[in-house]
Amino acid sequence: MCGITGVLNLNGGRPPEPSRLVRANDALSHRGPDDSGTFTDGQVGLAMRRLSIIDVARGHQPLSNENGAISIVFNGEIYNHLELREELVRRGHVFRTRSDTETIVHAYEQWGMEGCLSRLRGMFAFAIWDSSRRALFLCRDRMGIKPLYYAEEGGRLYFSSEIRGILLQSGIPCRVDMAAVDAFLTVGFVPNPRTICKGIRKLPPAHFLTVRNGTVTMRKYWELAYSEGNGSTVRELTEEFQDLLAECIGMHLMSEAPLGALLSGGIDSATIAAFAQRSLSTRLKTISISFDSCRLNEADAARETAGALGTDHVPVAFGKDSMDDYPEALYYLEEPLAEPVFVTEYNMHRAVRQKGLKVVLTGEGSDELLAGYHWHRGEVWSRPLLGLPFFLRAFVAEGLLLRSRGAGAMGMYRVLREGRSEAQDQYRAWLTIGDPKIKERLLAREVSAALKGNGGSLLDSWKDHLPAVAGRPLSDQMLWLQSRTRMVDDINHSLDRMSMAHSVEARVPFLDHKLWEFCASVPFRLKIDGTYFDLTEKFLLRNAVKGIVPEGARLRRKKGLAAPYETWLMGSRLPDWAETALSEAEIKKVGIFEAKEVARLRREHQAGLPDRATLLMGVLALQTWSRLFTG
Q: Are 56 and 256 in contact (CB under 8 A)?
A: yes
Residues of the chain with CATH 3.60.20.10: 2-220
List pLDDT tens digits, range 242-269: 999 999 999 999 999 999 999 988 999 9
Instruction: Report, as an integer, the average pLDDT of 494-519.
Output: 97
User: Residue 596 has what pLDDT?
Assistant: 98
- Above 70 in pLDDT, residue 402? no
The band of 404, judged by pLDDT with boundaries at 50, 70 and 90, is: low
Alpha carbon 408 to its chain's center: 21
Residue type, 587: I
**321 pLDDT higher than 60:** no
Which pLDDT belongs to residue 608?
A: 92
- Entry pTM: 0.96
Identify the pLDDT of residue 1: 64
**Once rounded to an integer, what is the mean pLDDT over residues 21-37?**
96
- Model pLDDT, residue 355: 93
pLDDT at site 16: 80
Task: Give ranges for CATH 3.40.50.620 in the chain.
Answer: 234-369+481-555
Contact 307, 345 (CB under 8 A): no
Length of the chain: 631
Residue 112 has pLDDT above 90, yes or no: yes
Query: Which pLDDT score, from 0 to 100, does residue 253 have?
Result: 97
- Residues 17-34 have a mean pLDDT of 94
Task: Give per-residue pLDDT as tens, 534-573.
Answer: 889 999 999 999 999 999 999 988 776 677 899 999 999 9
For residue 551, give the H/E element and its range.
Answer: helix 551-555
Arithmetic mean of pLDDT, 159-165: 98
CATH of 2-220, one of 1.10.600.10, 3.40.50.720, 1.10.150.530, 3.60.20.10: 3.60.20.10
Residue 320 pLDDT level (bands cut at 50, 70, 90): low
Q: Is the pLDDT of residue 405 over 70?
A: no
CA 35 from centroid of its chain's CA atoms: 26
Using pLDDT thresholds of 50, 70 and 90, give the confidence band for residue 292.
Answer: low
Alpha-carbon distances, residue 419 vs 338, 371, 530 (angstroms): 26, 22, 25
Query: Once rounded to an integer, what is the mean pLDDT over residues 10-25?
Result: 86
Q: Is residue 293 scored above 60 in pLDDT?
A: no
Closest CA to 515 of 370, 360, 361, 363: 370
Above 70 in pLDDT, residue 19?
Answer: yes
pLDDT at 319 > cutoff 70: no
Q: Among candidates 210, 51, 223, 65, which has minimal Cα distance to 139?
A: 210
Least confident stretch, 179-188, 243-252, 292-301, 306-315: 292-301
214: closest CA among 86, 357, 43, 432? 43
Cα 433 to Cα 614: distance, rounded to the nearest angstrom: 6
Is it the case that residue 295 has pLDDT exceeding 60? Answer: no
pLDDT above 90: residue 318: no
Q: Taking all residues of the chain, what is their mean pLDDT, rounded to a whole number?
A: 92
234 has pLDDT over 70: yes
Q: Could you give phi then psi for residue 220, rounded to 5 degrees?
A: -90, 135
In the 3-class helix/strand/coil scheme, how is 130-156 assigned residue by residue?
A: ECCCCEEEEEECCCCCCCCEEEEECCE
What kind of fold does domain 234-369+481-555 have according to CATH? Rossmann fold (3.40.50)
Q: What is the pLDDT of residues 194-228, one digit of tens each?
A: 999 999 999 999 999 999 999 999 999 999 988 87
Question: Residue 548's pLDDT is what?
Answer: 97
| Mean pLDDT confidence for 476-483 | 95
Rounded CA-CA distance 35/6 in Å is 17
Q: pLDDT digit string (tens) for 409-458?
A: 888 888 888 888 789 999 999 999 999 999 999 999 999 998 887 767 99
Cβ-contact 347, 451 below 8 angstroms: no
- Give the CB-side neighbour count of residue 388, counting CA atoms within 13 A: 17
- For residue 181, the model assigns a pLDDT of 97
For 550-573, give one letter per residue: b (16+ CB within 10 A) or e.
Answer: beebbebeeeebebbbbebbeeee
210, 341, 345, 487 from 560: Cα distances, Å: 39, 10, 12, 15
Question: Is the pLDDT higher at 542 or at 403?
Answer: 542
Residues contacting residue 236 through CB under 8 Å, at least 6 positions apart: none
Helix, strand, coil % (nearest 5) of the chain? 45, 20, 35
User: 315: part of which helix (H) or strand (E)?
Assistant: strand 312-318
